[in-house]
């Protein structure tokens, strides 16, 4: 049985992962900012086989609340086998270009808050000498694109942070996985003009994440074909990249 901490537990991808872990009879500590959604998610996981589910209300950007959350999590789980950081928002790029306050808030939602949580969790994992820290970044972090470079920047920061932290924690037997989903059919992407053929279901993405965690993959593109797409996109020279809109 594993003990699983999920931050941003009511997001579609997190829920889909949690369902797979629930079937295995695992124990959960779920963190999110909406109590009603948390309770509905917990009831679902219990019905699907979760051994125990504890809930914690927290705003991810409320940095002062992070240590109390971790203390409460350890109080109920004792140790963390898997920590999944899954919270995030999809900023309105155009609005962020005109409003510095909004841009920094969005950067905090997707970047700083994740880094803060990883910093805190890293020390716990270092004490434990075991466990996996899984973080959902994005393919958007691989390249800065005019349509969403603020989001991409935050995700790139998270990915780089993951890489450094992975090298640090590897030495003590802790694994850090950087999960980079492509387009996923979730409430966050609703209404966006995405190419339907490239949009994956959260369940598909979750299967790959759960497997990736088991196999200690370092960087996981999901669905897998995004590894190929991003290899191509990353290879486009800057002089061409600045002239195209993708």
Partner 1 sequence: MSRPLYSWGCYPHAPQTAHVCSWRSEVEALRDGVVATHGSTLPYGNGRSYGDSCLAASDQVLHIPAMDRFIRVDWQQGTVQAEAGVTLAEILAIAIPQGWFLSVTPGTQFATLGGAIANDVHGKNHHLRGTFGKHVHSFGLLRHGQELLTCSPTENTELYAASIGGLGLTGVIIWAKIQLMPIRSCQIDSTVVRFDNLAGFFALSAELDHQHEYSVAWIDCLAKGAKTGRGVFIIGDHACYGSLEVDERQKLHVPLTPPVSLINNLSLRAFNEAYWRMHPATRARKWSSYEPFFYPLDRILHWNRIYGRKGFQQYQCVIPDAVAEVAMRELLAAIADSGQGSFLAVLKRCGNIISPGLLSFPLPGTSLALDFPHTADLAALFLRLDAIVHEAGGRLYPAKDAHMSGSDFRQAYPAWEQLEALRDPSLMSRFWKRVTA
The set of catalytic residues is 151
- Minimum separation from the CB atom of position 50 to partner 1 (A): 11
- Minimum separation from the CB atom of position 143 to partner 1 (A): 21
Decide whether 36 or 238 has the Cβ nearer to partner 1: 36
Binding region for partner 1 (CB under 8 A): 12, 36-37, 40-41, 43-44, 46-49, 183, 185, 187, 189-194, 196, 199
Give the strand pairing for 219-222 and 52-57: unpaired
- Minimum separation from the CB atom of position 189 to partner 1 (A): 6
* Token representation of residue 21: 């872990």
Decide whether 145 or 166 has the Cβ nearer to partner 1: 145
Cβ atoms of 55 and 105 closer than 8 Å: no
* Alpha-carbon distance values, 3 to 52, 72, 78, 127, 169 (Å): 10, 14, 8, 16, 19
Decide whether 111 or 202 has the Cβ nearer to partner 1: 202
- Minimum separation from the CB atom of position 182 to partner 1 (A): 13
Decide whether 41 or 108 has the Cβ nearer to partner 1: 41
Place of tokens 């387009």: 183
Cβ atoms of 83 and 74 closer than 8 Å: no
* Token representation of residue 31: 């963190």
Cβ atoms of 94 and 114 closer than 8 Å: no
CA 46 to chain centroid, in Å, comes to 22
- Minimum separation from the CB atom of position 118 to partner 1 (A): 27
- Alpha helices by DSSP H, listed for the chain, are 12-23, 35-47, 66-77, 93-98, 100-107, 113-128, 149-170, 202-214, 225-234, 238-241
SS3 content of the chain, % helix, strand, coil (to 5): 55, 15, 30
> Taking Cα atoms as reference points, which of 148, 75, 153, 80 lies closest to residue 114?
153
- Minimum separation from the CB atom of position 43 to partner 1 (A): 5
């Amino acid at each position: 049985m594993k003990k699983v901490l999920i931050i941003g537990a009511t997001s579609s991808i997190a829920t889909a992962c949690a369902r797979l872990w629930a079937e295995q009879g695992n124990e959960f500590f779920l963190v999110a900012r909406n109590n009603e959604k948390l309770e509905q998610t917990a009831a679902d996981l219990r019905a699907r086989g979760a051994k125990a589910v504890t809930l914690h209300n927290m705003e991810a950007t409320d940095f002062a609340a992070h240590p109390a959350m971790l203390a409460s999590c350890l109080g109920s789980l004792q140790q963390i086998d898997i920590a999944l950081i899954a919270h995030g928002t999809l900023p309105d790029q155009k609005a962020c270009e005109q409003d510095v306050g909004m841009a920094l808030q969005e950067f905090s939602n997707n970047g700083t808050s994740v880094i803060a949580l990883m910093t805190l969790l890293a020390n716990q994992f270092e004490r434990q000498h075991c466990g996996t820290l899984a973080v959902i970044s994005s393919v958007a972090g691989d390249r800065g694109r005019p349509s969403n470079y603020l989001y991409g920047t935050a995700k790139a920061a998270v990915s780089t942070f993951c890489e450094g932290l992975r090298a640090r924690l590897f030495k003590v037997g802790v694994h850090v996985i950087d999960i980079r989903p492509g387009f996923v059919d979730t409430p966050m992407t609703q209404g966006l003009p995405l190419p339907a053929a490239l949009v994956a279901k959260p369940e598909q993405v979750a299967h790959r994440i759960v497997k990736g965690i088991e196999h200690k993959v370092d960087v996981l593109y999901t669905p897998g074909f995004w590894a190929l797409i991003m290899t191509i996109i990353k290879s486009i020279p800057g002089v061409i990249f600045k002239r195209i809109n993708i």
